[in-house]
Structure formats: C-alpha cells, structure tokens
Amino acid sequence: MNKKFFDDHCPVARTLNAIGDGWSVLILRNLFLNDSQRFQDFLESTPGLVPSTLSGRLKVLESKQIIQRQFYSEHPPRSAYRLTEKGRSLGPIMLALKEWGEKYDTST
C-alpha cells in the first residue's frame, strides 16, 4: 500500500512519493553500500526497522522499479534485493544526503 502525500504534478513530489520515507532511504543506503541484501541483512543493519515495515517498503520500491528481487533458493523461497538501473541513478542524491549529513550535524 503506497499512500501518496504529495501532488504528482511536481517532480520533487513524485520523487518523495517513491522514496520520501526515511526507512526507504535507509534501505537504499544499504543497497548502495552492499551490492545485494537479503531481508534479514536489512533488519540487522538498520536498528529499529521491523519486519512489517521493511516488507512494505521493499514492495513499494520494487513496484516503482527502484529495486529488484532475485530468488536464490526455491525451497524454502529465499530472495535478495538489488538496485535497478533506475535505483542506481539515485546515487548522486544519496551522496548529497551523505555529504550534507557529514557537514551539518543535526543530532543535537
């Protein structure tokens, strides 16, 4: 279920509708740091992320063709996630977020 919070007529709003959620951005961060991630890898590397939230965010990112799921085992079914070309094109945005976070510490 992907609830829209912004008007689709604005390109910034469309981007936020796809990846604007903080958990989604952290999922993307993990995929930029690691070529491939399993469901459990996301949970272990992202404190506070619960399975139901992760599952929902993965489904949205996959439906937007930002990530793709690849099965590596049939019994039991196991899959890993990777960035698509469309997802990799978010690299400059992710780098800008990283650089801004390094320059401006907003944790205080």
**Residue 30 token pair:** 């993990």
Query: Which domains does the chain possess?
Result: 11-103 (1.10.10.10)
Distance between CA atoms of 85 and 106, rounded to whole angstroms?
31
Output the average pLDDT for the chain. 90
Quick one: pLDDT band at residue 92, thresholds 50, 70, 90?
very high
Global pTM reads 0.86
Give whole-number Cα distances, 60 to 34, 69, 108, in Å.
20, 12, 32
pLDDT at 20 over 80: no
- Per DSSP, the three-state class of 100 is helix
Contact 90, 19 (CB under 8 A): yes
In this prediction, residues 16-36 reach a mean pLDDT of: 92
Distance between CA atoms of 91 and 25, rounded to whole angstroms?
11
